């Protein structure tokens, strides 16, 4: 069996990280798997792309078209937006490759149009990484983006017309599975829940605090042994309103009334250290590209990770933090509820009691110790790459058999 994963980026953003994890766990199960991307940065032979001059020009044009389209239509949004309207040659290139299964991931930035998906003549599985496949132009919604504009309805109708029963859907969480079942776009497509794999061996906790401060270039804070460390991180951490930075900062500030706090933020471009008050330091580390050393060190150094996202398909940082032994506090009603189990490996809160939950957990060394141990075991049991790979293989085999029986 040969599987081709299709994702715009090779290694940027949560979708590309998840696509790589799925791809790699399939390779370990002796499945021939490759990743097709628009922007390749590695020398990995299993990652392929079109390096031609025409492809490069086309990619830049498509990105610019997508950005300018919504500006022209005055479709303002705090979320990522995609139209999926520009036809490409990618389906024909995919059809020429000798793969049995096509696993789509994040195909936006006009990598492929809505209609292009119908031109692929091989069985398709689509792993959903945000809400764009089941909505209009927006990848997520909030109160300002209700999804009822002309362009939203045009895009939704196009998806409904072209994608109905066309492919099987993999949902990384029960939250997004329910969203799919409730959607007008893909409610008739077969869907199932398969979480992203987490390799526990890559997230082994580092206990030596001096080593951790050195890895993170935070040696100036190594003597702050009495400080509790709260962690918050995401792509565009402080600017992406969906991720809940405001609530996380409010929690850190409130906790500083009872504890000495270091509040560490990663995922923004900005790097700075700010003393907020006598008991609170804010440290912005910028982007963390070294995941298995620096990011692991960051999780290991922290007492609690805060993930107050208002919408989250999975919650990769939550899973990684728990795998490292750091409990997580998250909000109710998102995909992270499959990862964070209340009073087992962290806390699931409402917005109103989120701050109280952080204070209560920091005040209990026993809970922190127990949640850490139980969290590692929970990740081992439910997100093991071997188990996840075989769930994907089962979906692939079903799709191949359906394709064969249809002839």
Indicate which CATH number applies to the domain containing 84: 3.40.50.2000
State the average pLDDT over residues 172-195.
96
In terms of domains, do 235 and 142 share one? no
Query: Which pLDDT does position 169 carry in this prediction?
Result: 98
In terms of domains, do 156 and 221 share one? no
In terms of domains, do 36 and 115 share one? yes
User: pLDDT class for 406, splitting at 50, 70, 90?
Assistant: very low
Query: Which pLDDT does position 267 carry in this prediction?
Result: 94
In terms of domains, do 158 and 279 share one? no
Model pLDDT for residues 98-130, shown as the tens digit of each residue: 999 999 999 999 999 999 999 999 999 999 999
Closest CA to 376 of 336, 316, 338, 321: 321
DSSP state of 129: S
Query: Which pLDDT does position 78 carry in this prediction?
Result: 58
Query: Which pLDDT does position 388 carry in this prediction?
Result: 98
* Pick from 79-83, 211-215, 226-230: least confident: 79-83
Please check the confidence at residue 222 and state whether its pLDDT lies above 80. Answer: no
In terms of domains, do 238 and 175 share one? no
Query: Which pLDDT does position 145 carry in this prediction?
Result: 53
In terms of domains, do 227 and 140 share one? no
Query: Which pLDDT does position 208 carry in this prediction?
Result: 92
Q: What percent of the chain has pLDDT over 90?
A: 78
Angle between helices 14-28 and 316-324 (to 10 degrees): 60
DSSP state of 6: E
In terms of domains, do 130 and 241 share one? no
In terms of domains, do 57 and 184 share one? yes
Element (H, E) at 271: strand 271-277
State the average pLDDT over residues 179-193.
95
Across the chain, what does the average pLDDT equal? 92
Query: Which pLDDT does position 403 carry in this prediction?
Result: 60
Contact at 8 Å (CB) between 14 and 318? Answer: no
In terms of domains, do 140 and 151 share one? yes
Query: Which pLDDT does position 76 carry in this prediction?
Result: 64
Closest CA to 91 of 128, 118, 120, 62: 120
| 186 backbone dihedrals φ, ψ, rounded to 5° | -120, 20
In terms of domains, do 230 and 312 share one? yes
DSSP state of 294: I
Model pLDDT for residues 281-302, shown as the tens digit of each residue: 999 999 998 988 999 999 999 9
Model pLDDT for residues 129-160, shown as the tens digit of each residue: 999 999 999 999 765 555 678 888 999 999 99
Range of the domain at 319: 200-382
Distance between CA atoms of 233 and 239, rounded to whole angstroms?
A: 11
In terms of domains, do 145 and 284 share one? no
Model pLDDT for residues 52-104, shown as the tens digit of each residue: 888 888 888 888 887 777 777 766 665 688 899 999 999 999 999 999 999 99
| 80 backbone dihedrals φ, ψ, rounded to 5° | -65, 140
Closest CA to 260 of 232, 231, 285, 281: 281
In terms of domains, do 180 and 240 share one? no
User: pLDDT class for 174, splitting at 50, 70, 90?
Assistant: very high
Contact at 8 Å (CB) between 85 and 111? Answer: no
Distance between CA atoms of 105 and 14, rounded to whole angstroms?
A: 11
User: pLDDT class for 269, splitting at 50, 70, 90?
Assistant: confident
Closest CA to 56 of 44, 39, 41: 39
Please check the confidence at residue 250 and state whether its pLDDT lies above 50. Answer: yes
Query: Which pLDDT does position 407 carry in this prediction?
Result: 33
Q: What percent of the chain has pLDDT over 70?
A: 96
The number of folded domains in the chain is 2
Closest CA to 18 of 171, 247, 230, 131: 171
């Amino acid at each position: 069996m040969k599987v081709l994963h299709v994702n715009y980026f090779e290694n940027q953003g949560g979708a590309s990280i998840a696509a790589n994890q799925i791809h790699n766990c399939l390779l370990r199960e002796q499945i021939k798997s490759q990743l097709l991307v628009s922007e390749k940065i590695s020398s990995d032979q299993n990652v392929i792309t079109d390096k031609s001059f025409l492809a490069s020009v086309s990619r830049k044009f498509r990105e610019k078209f997508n950005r300018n389209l919504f500006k022209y239509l005055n479709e303002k949004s705090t979320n990522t937006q995609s139209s999926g309207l520009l036809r490409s040659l990618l389906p024909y290139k995919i059809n020429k490759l000798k793969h049995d299964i096509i696993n789509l991931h994040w195909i936006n930035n006009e990598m492929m149009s809505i209609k292009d998906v119908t031109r692929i003549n091989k069985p398709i599985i689509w792993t959903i990484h945000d809400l764009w496949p089941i909505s209009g132009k927006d990848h997520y919604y909030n109160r300002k983006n209700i999804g009822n504009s002309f362009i939203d309805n045009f895009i939704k109708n196009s998806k409904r017309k072209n994608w109905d029963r066309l492919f099987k859907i993999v949902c990384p969480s029960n939250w997004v599975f329910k969203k799919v079942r409730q959607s007008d776009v893909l409610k008739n497509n077969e869907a199932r829940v398969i979480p992203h794999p987490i390799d526990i061996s890559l997230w082994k906790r580092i206990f030596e605090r001096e080593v951790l401060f050195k890895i993170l270039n935070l040696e100036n804070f190594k003597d702050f042994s009495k400080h509790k460390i709260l962690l918050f991180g995401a792509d565009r951490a402080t600017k992406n309103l969906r991720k809940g930075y405001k609530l996380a900062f409010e929690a850190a500030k409130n906790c500083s009334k009872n504890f000495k706090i270091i509040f560490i933020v990663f995922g923004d471009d900005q790097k700075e250290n700010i003393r907020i008050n006598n008991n609170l330091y804010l440290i912005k580390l910028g982007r963390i590209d070294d995941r298995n050393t620096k990011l692991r060190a960051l999780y290991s150094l922290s007492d609690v990770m805060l993930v107050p996202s208002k919408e989250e398909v999975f919650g990769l940082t939550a899973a990684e933090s728990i795998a490292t032994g750091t409990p997580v506090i998250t909000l109710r009603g998102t995909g992270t509820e499959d990862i964070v189990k209340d009073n087992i490996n962290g806390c699931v809160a409402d917005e109103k009691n989120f701050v109280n939950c952080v204070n209560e957990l920091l005040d209990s060394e026993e809970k922190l110790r127990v949640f850490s141990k139980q969290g590692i075991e929970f990740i081992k049991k439910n997100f093991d790459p071997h188990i996840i790979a075989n769930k994907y293989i089962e979906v692939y085999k079903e799709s191949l058999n359906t394709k064969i029986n249809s002839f």
